[in-house]
Amino acid sequence: DIQMTQSPSSLSASLGDRVTITCRASQGITNSLAWFQQKPGKAPKSLIYRSYILHSGVPSKFSGSGYGTDFTLTISNLQPEDFATYYCQQYNNYPLTFGGGTKVEIK
Amino acid sequence: EVQLVESGGGLVQRGGSLRLSCAASGFYFSGYWMTWFRQAPGKGLEWVANIKEDGSNKYYVDSVKGRFTISRDNAKNSLYLQMNSLTAEDTAVYYCARGEGWVDYWGQGTLATVSS
């Protein structure tokens, strides 16, 4: 199975900050990488697929990059609605696997 | 508007069974792979199973193989997850989602609790 390692597991940031979350795959997954946002008690929301393509309706403050084993999610100009947990997921191989999540909290 | 609504969760004893359903609307259901995920209380997301548009291909995470069965009824725009021989480790919110590898829309989830 492909292991997905996210870092950091949590971070504190202020309104207006730019933050970057990293995701590393235990083996190459080309660009078969997605990012999801989840708020407490809610279903996940799809943000990005194929490493960098924004899902319909996702604001351009979110951006993704990476290929192979190393990926990043960057969120610019943090706003209250962005404080949530973010997950990466690889879909290059079965079983599909997720990173452990990164909780973005208000400083 | 794409909508996915799960139902069928509840409290069941260890070794028991549950059948989850996911009612889809707002898109051509027969044209999409569909997927089940789950999330144990306070834990991360886990892929459970997915099924091809016509039901001819199905994939499962190892921990549920032989116990869970994913199926669909395209005439009813519905996805199912039959869960048998349940254990405490199956306690989770179960989400259905549209797509195969990458999923674009998720339901709100249904909670399945297995008591020991």
* pLDDT (0 to 100) of residue B116: 85
Residue B35 C-alpha, separation from nearest chain A C-alpha, in angstroms: 11
Determine how many CB atoms are found less than 10 A away from the CB of residue A92.
Answer: 16
Determine how many CB atoms are found less than 10 A away from the CB of residue A85.
Answer: 20
Instruction: Give the CA-trace dihedral at A60, A103, B40, A65, to 10 degrees.
Output: 40
Residue type for position A22: T
Tell me, yes or no, if A95 comes closer than 8 A to chain B by beta carbon.
yes
Q: What is the DSSP string of B34-59?
A: EEEEEE-TTS-EEEEEEE-TTS--EE
3-state secondary structure of B42: coil
Residue A39 C-alpha, separation from nearest chain B C-alpha, in angstroms: 12
Interface list for A 27-56 with B (CB within 8 A):
32, 34, 36, 38, 42-46, 49-50, 55-56
Q: How many CA atoms lie within 13 A of B100 on its CB side?
A: 15
Determine how many CB atoms are found less than 10 A away from the CB of residue B71.
Answer: 14
Distance (Å, whole) CA A22 – CA A3: 14
- What tokens were used for B80? 């199912």
Average pLDDT over residues B10-31: 98
CA A37 to chain centre: 7
What pLDDT, in 10s, does the model give residues B64-106?
999 999 999 999 999 999 999 999 999 999 999 999 989 999 9
Greater pLDDT, B116 or A13: A13
Measured between beta carbons, the chain A residues lying within 8 angstroms of B32 are none
- What tokens were used for B32? 């999409």
Contacts of A41 (CB under 8 A, 6+ apart): none
Residue B46 C-alpha, separation from nearest chain A C-alpha, in angstroms: 7
> Could you tell me the sign of the dihedral formed by the alpha carbons of B94, B96, B99, B104, in that order?
negative
Q: How much helix, strand and coil, in percent to the nearest 5, is found in chain A?
A: 5, 50, 50
What pLDDT, in 10s, does the model give residues A4-20?
999 999 999 999 999 99
Distance (Å, whole) CA A85 – CA B46: 15
* pLDDT (0 to 100) of residue B90: 98
Kind of pairing between the strands at A70-75 and A85-90: unpaired
- What tokens were used for A52? 């960098």
Question: B97 near B4, Cβ under 8 Å?
Answer: yes
* pLDDT (0 to 100) of residue A102: 98
pLDDT over threshold 90, residue A87: yes
What phi and psi values does residue A100 have, to the nearest 5 degrees? -75, -10
